[in-house]
Structure 1
């Protein structure tokens, strides 16, 4: 594996940071000097973030327990544990929040001592956002059945600073059958953890149209062990799609009532469920845009 890589994308505005499984797109908006300094800080922080995680990986792959938070050394690992602790009444490991936690940590490095109007760190669709007063940002959402045609606008006053998308077609394993579950929350880590569990709940246990495989057969060191993860979803009747979505919506509504998320949108088989205030709309060319995808 090569070491940390940093380069500008073709548009000259977005910074691409890559190291092993971490693949980030970073963009800052504000005065040129402030943006330059912010990017330099992000590059410096990126040099060690994966190394820190690898050092604590065995413990990060173990389940969290509601009454027994662990003390991790690295700041990203601590973010991961904090994000999953409120959800630990069911099976969850800190790895459920790794992408969002990395985005949060990198955004913190980008912002340290800087004055930026807006910024985002997109870690494969799990993102951390910075919005100064009276600003907004637009996000394109994939996995909804409409390509990248669906958009969500987040305003500074909404209090949302993290967005994450999970589903069985994504880069991580899922226990459920959601095409996509997009969650808006206070941080990227919180959105990531919640999206994982809501997507797991969009399910039809025992349905013969669903093909599942033990996670350990696909990845021997998976934190999911022998739990069955979805590898294919056949044709489902409309009533089955509705039932699966309603199963996930019940979990999403519970999280929202508990103040763990701001809103979520669940998609399966061309149908959708919304929890909270999520208004999908057409693109707005005047807003900066980052992409959340399953």
Structure 2
């Protein structure tokens, strides 16, 4: 039986939900009514068949990235471009940037079709963003993606260079080689943010620590692009010094990426502790409502 994408406006009448297999997007556009309608129509058109495009090259997308690629699809090539800066230093496949690259593609389709004041496409916390002049975007940070509650917010202004936000870590949807609860990255594009979040989250680690339980990725998911590499399944009690060492390992990685111009900033979280690299304007907000107005949670 042929699979059909699930496409519908949410109950608020403002946001568009697009779901096909593992791809689950929320898009919101703001502008004149006719422009918003054109943007949503373009999103639906581009979304239809996108998963099939990726599946057609899935075997190559699961292979370690190299300097050059034979990938053909627009999204597939974007995925490769996002991870290529890391290929010489660590094992990484284009799949590390799939969520951000898909969000970026749908947003691009919307912007080709319409003139919008503001728009975003959120793919499970990996967000592609458009801000017209004078617009802004608020993001709520969760210290534990598997729990409710927002601990801090970030505000991105139109004149900021950030147009992509992504979060990775052991409590997310994908496997992680590290122990971070969450690493949220700000970058020029969603695909770049996605790749960098993966790399930094992997670097938040305590190799060989007895409290960290690891398993081969392919024992947990036979077709994992990580193959037999050990991924984190559980983390026992860590001392304050342990947490500090792990966070500093990830922070050093983030600083290097910041200095190379690959990211605009990062927030690293582990066991209730946090390190911020790059942006200076992330302020503690205390306990926020579960759904603060105009905020998207990552």
TM superposition score normalised by structure 2: 0.94
- Pair 1:22–1:146, CA change in 2 (3 A): closer
1:61 aligns with 2:67: no
Larger mean CA deviation between 30-39 and 144-153 belongs to: 144-153
* 1:71 matched residue in structure 2: 70
On the 8 A contact 1:127/1:164 being kept in 2, the answer is yes
Q: CA deviation at 1:12?
A: 1.2
**Pairing 1:201–2:200 present:** no
In structure 1, stretches of 5+ residues that fail to align are none
**Cross-structure match for 2:112:** 112
- Cα RMSD of the aligned pairs, angstroms, is 1.7
Contact 2:139 2:295 in 1 (8 A): yes
Contact 2:65 2:87 in 1 (8 A): yes
Aligned-pair CA distance for 1:97: 0.2
Aligned residues: 290
Q: Which residue of 2 aligns with 1:268?
A: 270
Name which of structure 1's ranges 146-155 and 258-267 shifts more when overlaid on structure 2.
146-155
Q: Secondary structure at the match of 1:45?
A: helix
Aligned equivalents of 1:70, 1:23: Cα separation in 2:
27
Cα distance in 1 between the residues matched to 2:19 and 2:148: 29
Matches within 5 A, 1:44-59: 44-59=45-60
Partner of 1:127: 127
Does the 8 A contact of 1:137 with 1:287 survive in 2?
A: no
* Cα displacement (A) at 1:134: 1.7
Structure 2 counterpart SS, 1:157: coil
The list of structure 1 runs, each at least 4 consecutive aligned residues, that deviate by more than 3 angstroms after superposition, is 280-287
Task: Provide the C-alpha distance between the structure 2 equivalents of 1:273 and 1:262, rounded to a whole number of angstroms.
Answer: 15
Is 1:8 matched with 2:9?
yes
In structure 2, C-alpha distance between the alignment counterparts of 1:208 and 1:61, rounded to whole Å: 30
Structure 2 segments unaligned to the other structure (5+ residues):
none
1:107-158 per-residue CA deviation (whole Å, 9 max, x = no partner) reads: 0011113110100000000010000122110011223598223211111111
Deviation at 1:3, TM superposition (A): 1.6
Q: Could you tell which deviates more after superposition, 181-190 or 4-13?
A: 4-13
**Equivalences for residues 140-289 of structure 1 within 5 A:** 140-143=140-143, 147-277=149-279, 279-282=282-285, 288-289=294-295
- Call closer, same or farther: CA 1:77–1:280 in 2, change over 3 Å: farther
1:218 Cα offset (Å): 0.6
* Cα shift readout 1:184-230 (whole Å, capped 9, x = no counterpart): 00110000000001000000001111111100001111000000000
> TM-score of the superposition, structure 1-length normalised?
0.95
Cα contact 2:42–2:113 (8 A) shared by 1: no
